[in-house]
Amino acid sequence: MSVYDYTATNIDGTEASLADYKGKVLLVVNTATGCGFTPQYDDLEAMYAKFKDQGFEILDFPCNQFAGQAPETDEEIHQFCTLKFGTEFPQFKKIDVNGETAHPLFAELATQMPFEGFGKGLKAKALEKFAKANNKEFGDKAYIMWNFTKFLIDREGNLVARFEPTVEMDEVKAKVAAIL
């Protein structure tokens, strides 16, 4: 399947076809408001502001499956993101990214480009141990290891990169710029 074959529910409750984003470079990300990586919203919004006129979109999917770090309602999450970080990129209703109830888009993307680790260093090692314990209940359907996992899709709908939350945002930005 293509990324364009999927739909998602907008923050306002309407169904959106991802085919509406054909011809654009997409960064699909699962997020949370109470995560140590939540400050990445600043970097994401800066990247969006810089590249949106070149055909770049960030598709934000809040998720509460990682230590309950997004317990708020969809409206509260949206208000938090717009007021605290000034986000203007599209945000969808909260979804699951792991298990039997995982949104099919995330299951597909993660199957195409599986998790290969959080990298090196103490932060990565600590997160790996915590994520492993958190995701044990999902077994072979633990597609995403933690919040702020990002998938980069080119203008033709091809998955070109997966970035774990520990990847420096400058690296994400450089790859987006190269694809644009």
> Which residues belong to the active site?
35
Strand 25-31 with 56-62, pairing = parallel
> Quick one: DSSP state of residue 108?
H
CA distances from 58 to 41, 132, 157 (A): 11, 27, 14
Give the integer Cα–Cα distance in Å for 52 and 58. 9
- 102 in Cβ contact with 63 (< 8 Å): no
Q: Which of 54, 87, 58 has the alpha carbon at shortest distance from 179?
A: 54
